[in-house]
């Protein structure tokens, strides 16, 4: 059973979920069924595996409910030999699985292209063995983390000291696995019922060479990899266009593929007339009139670029190698190429940000609108959330971000800018899930269906602090740290992080160097 913690229309739009499902479905020794929160495939008589693909922190707390609905014990330590092995993967779990770790038997850290087959092969070798023997064998597969074989250790004040194996022979450090092939992923399902209807998605690049200091998509997926044009991209596009006339080119920085100009010229051929092409996000400095012209010709009405801030100082802090002039030129090129809209993404609450930096964002949008009349501007703004395995993992959410979102709304909406802020409150919950350790698991279990209410999260966390929640089974853990310490506090370099036993592409020392370099621009 392969689950997605949202509806079918959302889940089937996830390229990661599609690829995991297709990888399993292609095996003769696996009968895979899909499960979403609103529907699912017919259930087999027996479930040996229950998998979850997780790409967003806020989706994680759905897991206990999914398990209960399948009559699977919520806590891994309470499962018997007859219960399925519950496993998960995706960027959120690869970065920091600890808040959800007590619900999982195994977590797959990294790219699934090699990791998933190795995981299934290992299970097939011991499928009739007792549960604990199967888990020990899985722990020997590179990139497979078995939480029950590790125990957090705390001092008398409740501060985390280490997360260590419970017995000899278990790896002390579990490292994320990286696919280095010349082909990346593309859609295996095209359906009108998806959130992006009838679209064939093709992954052009993985990771990003820019390394913005807050960015999980950059740091967690290093190194920057590109799909081969002739052996990967063109065959993938041709295959998809046999089923649909809508193509989506995906990646954190699609236009930085070294052969992107060639791909664009190939898509400019007359035989693709009637095909609609969209691009997930482009680097502003790579926008050209030619890019605008071809995308306009292929049915796109707008481009999307991430600017992070209108302040050049802030862009230096986050390592966004982008000038104001390049942003202005991108708007001009988009309009001259025939596009009618430009979508920009930014943040508030970044480390060292001031009110003047936020004002610079408002000023930039107003200047862009004035300088390129007729182009429709949309600004999406989120609150900075510290992500594990990035240089800004030691930073916290800044409370003043909420007022700064309101300030930008007041500045821009009256001037005809379509301003789309993300909820500050839900950014706080993202940070709670991103930075916590296993002590959050009882909160996740207890909040239940109240997970869609900010008040329920705060009330349940307060109950955990007061020792009022039912403890999870297994070794007793201290109460979680105060709410503000997890969410808002800037952590010291000497603090033991909840994911200290898990290793991403860069060691903590390298990430700290990048952190200190970023703040040297403040």
Pairwise CA distance, residues 104 & 139, whole Å: 13
Q: In this predicted structure, what is the pLDDT of residue 55?
A: 86
Q: In this predicted structure, what is the pLDDT of residue 44?
A: 86
Mean pLDDT of 18-22: 90
Q: In this predicted structure, what is the pLDDT of residue 131?
A: 97
Write out pLDDT tens, residues 406-432. 999 999 999 999 999 999 999 999 999
Region of 252 please: left (phi>0), alpha (psi -120 to 50) or beta. Answer: alpha
30 contact partners, CB below 8 Å, separation of at least 6: 24, 120
Mean pLDDT of 273-282: 92
Mean pLDDT of 283-312: 94
Mean pLDDT of 103-117: 95
Exposed, middle or buried: residue 406 (CB in 10 Å: 0-12, 13-18, 19+)? exposed
362 contact partners, CB below 8 Å, separation of at least 6: 310, 407, 408, 411, 412
Mean pLDDT of 40-67: 92
Q: How would you classify the pairing of strands 2-3 and 160-165?
A: unpaired
Q: In this predicted structure, what is the pLDDT of residue 311?
A: 97
Q: CA 235, 239, 245, 250 torsion: positive or negative?
A: negative
Q: In this predicted structure, what is the pLDDT of residue 247?
A: 95
Residue 356's alpha-carbon distances to 311, 348, 351, 376, 411, in angstroms, are 8, 12, 14, 25, 13
Pick the closest to residue 50 from 88, 22, 81 (CA basis): 88
Compute the residue count for the chain: 522
475 contact partners, CB below 8 Å, separation of at least 6: 151
Q: In this predicted structure, what is the pLDDT of residue 189?
A: 87
Pick the closest to residue 165 from 149, 154, 153, 147 (CA basis): 149
Q: CA 121, 126, 127, 132 torsion: positive or negative?
A: negative
Enter the tokens of residue 361: 């964002």
Element (H, E) at 297: helix 289-297
Measured in degrees and rounded to the nearest 5, phi and psi for residue 112 equal -85, -10
Q: Which of 13-27, 131-145, 380-394 has the lowest mean pLDDT?
A: 13-27
Determine the distance from the C-alpha atom of residue 113 to the mean position of all C-alpha atoms in its chain, rounded to a whole number. Answer: 18
Measured in degrees and rounded to the nearest 5, phi and psi for residue 471 equal -70, 155
Pairwise CA distance, residues 159 & 91, whole Å: 26
Determine the distance from the C-alpha atom of residue 32 to the mean position of all C-alpha atoms in its chain, rounded to a whole number. Answer: 24
Pick the closest to residue 504 from 93, 104, 182 (CA basis): 93
**Cis? peptide before 223, omega within 30° of 0:** yes
Enter the tokens of residue 25: 């479905």
Q: In this predicted structure, what is the pLDDT of residue 197?
A: 85
Residues 58, 452 contacting (CB under 8 angstroms): no
Write out pLDDT tens, residues 488-513. 999 999 999 999 999 999 999 999 99
Mean residue pLDDT across the chain:
95
Region of 89 please: left (phi>0), alpha (psi -120 to 50) or beta. Answer: beta
Q: CA 420, 426, 430, 432 torsion: positive or negative?
A: positive
Q: In this predicted structure, what is the pLDDT of residue 194?
A: 82
Q: In this predicted structure, what is the pLDDT of residue 171?
A: 97
Write out pLDDT tens, residues 369-404. 999 999 999 999 999 999 999 999 999 999 999 999
Q: CA 403, 404, 407, 409 torsion: positive or negative?
A: negative
Which stretches of 259-301 are assigned E, i.e. beta strand?
276-279
Q: In this predicted structure, what is the pLDDT of residue 411?
A: 96
Composition of the chain by helix, strand, coil, percent to 5: 40, 15, 40
Residues 32, 20 contacting (CB under 8 angstroms): no
Q: In this predicted structure, what is the pLDDT of residue 214?
A: 97
Q: In this predicted structure, what is the pLDDT of residue 193?
A: 82
Pairwise CA distance, residues 522 & 517, whole Å: 10
Supply the pTM of this predicted model: 0.95
Enter the tokens of residue 494: 């000497």
Q: In this predicted structure, what is the pLDDT of residue 48?
A: 94
Pairwise CA distance, residues 116 & 168, whole Å: 25
Count of other CB atoms within 10 angstroms of residue 466: 9
Residue with tokens 């992923």: 185
Which stretches of 44-121 are assigned E, i.e. beta strand?
49-53, 85-89, 106-108
Residue 404's alpha-carbon distances to 354, 407, 485, in angstroms, are 10, 5, 22
Q: In this predicted structure, what is the pLDDT of residue 429?
A: 97
Pick the closest to residue 21 from 10, 35, 7 (CA basis): 35
Q: In this predicted structure, what is the pLDDT of residue 496?
A: 98
Residues 334, 342 contacting (CB under 8 angstroms): yes
Enter the tokens of residue 36: 């979403």
Q: In this predicted structure, what is the pLDDT of residue 137?
A: 97
Q: Reduced to 3 states, what is the DSSP secondary structure of residue 292?
A: helix
Residue 361's alpha-carbon distances to 14, 15, 39, 347, in angstroms, are 31, 32, 43, 9
| pLDDT interval class at 160 (50, 70, 90) | very high
Count of other CB atoms within 10 angstroms of residue 377: 21
Cα 334-335-341 angle, rounded to 5 deg:
75
DSSP character at residue 54: -
Kindly list the structural domains of the chain, giving each domain's residue range(s) and its CATH number in brackets, ordered by start: 2-175 (no CATH), 181-281 (3.30.750), 301-430+499-522 (3.30.750.200), 431-498 (no CATH)
């Amino acid at each position: 059973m392969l689950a997605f913690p949202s509806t079918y229309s959302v889940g089937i739009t996830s390229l990661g979920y599609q690829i995991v499902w297709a990888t399993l479905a292609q095996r003769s020794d696996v009968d895979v069924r899909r499960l979403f929160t609103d529907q699912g495939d017919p259930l087999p008589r027996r479930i040996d595996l229950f998998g979850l693909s997780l790409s967003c922190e806020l989706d994680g707390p759905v897991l206990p409910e999914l398990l209960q609905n399948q009559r699977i014990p919520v806590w891994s330590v309470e499962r018997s030999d007859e219960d399925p092995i519950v496993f998960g993967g995706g960027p959120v779990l690869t970065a920091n699985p600890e808040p959800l770790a007590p619900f999982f038997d195994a977590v797959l850290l990294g790219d699934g292209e090699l990791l998933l087959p190795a995981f299934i092969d290992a299970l097939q070798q011991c499928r009739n063995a007792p549960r604990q023997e199967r888990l020990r064998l899985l722990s020997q597969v590179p990139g497979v983390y078995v939480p029950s074989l590790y125990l957090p250790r705390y001092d008398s004040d409740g501060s985390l000291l280490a997360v260590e194996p419970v017995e000899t022979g278990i790896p002390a450090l579990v490292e994320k696995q990286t696919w280095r092939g010349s082909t990346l992923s593309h859609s295996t399902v095209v359906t009108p019922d998806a959130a992006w209807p009838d679209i064939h998605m093709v992954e052009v690049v993985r990771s990003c060479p820019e390394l913005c200091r807050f960015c999980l998509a950059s740091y967690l997926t290093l190194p920057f990899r590109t799909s081969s044009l002739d052996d990967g991209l063109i065959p993938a596009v041709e295959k998809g266009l046999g089923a649909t006339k809508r193509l989506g080119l995906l990646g954190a920085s699609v236009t930085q593929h070294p052969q992107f100009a060639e791909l664009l010229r190939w898509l400019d051929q007359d035989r693709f007339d009637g095909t609609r092409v969209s691009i997930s996000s482009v680097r502003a400095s790579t926008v050209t009139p030619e890019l605008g012209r071809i995308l306009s010709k292929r049915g796109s009405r707008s481009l999307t670029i991430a600017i992070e801030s209108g302040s050049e100082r802030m862009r230096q802090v986050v390592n966004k190698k982008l000038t104001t002039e390049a942003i202005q030129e991108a708007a001009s090129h988009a309009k001259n190429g025939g596009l009618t809209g430009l979508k920009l993404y930014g943040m508030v609450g970044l480390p060292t940000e001031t009110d003047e930096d936020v004002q610079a964002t408002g000023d930039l949008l107003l200047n862009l609108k004035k300088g390129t009349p007729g182009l429709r501007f949309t600004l999406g703004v989120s609150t900075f959330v510290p992500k594990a395995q990035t240089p800004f993992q030691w930073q916290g959410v800044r409370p003043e971000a909420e007022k700064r979102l309101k300030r930008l709304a007041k500045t821009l909406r009256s001037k005809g800018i379509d301003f789309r802020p993300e909820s500050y409150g839900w950014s706080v919950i993202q940070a709670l899930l991103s930075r916590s350790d296993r002590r959050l698991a009882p909160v996740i279990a207890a909040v239940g269906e109240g997970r869609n209410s900010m008040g329920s999260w705060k009330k349940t966390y307060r109950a955990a602090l007061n020792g009022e929640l039912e403890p999870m089974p297994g070794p007793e853990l201290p109460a979680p740290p105060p709410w503000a310490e997890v969410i808002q506090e800037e952590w010291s370099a000497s603090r033991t992080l909840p994911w200290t036993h898990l290793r991403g592409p860069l060691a903590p020392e390298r990430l700290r160097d990048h952190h200190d370099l970023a703040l040297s621009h403040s």
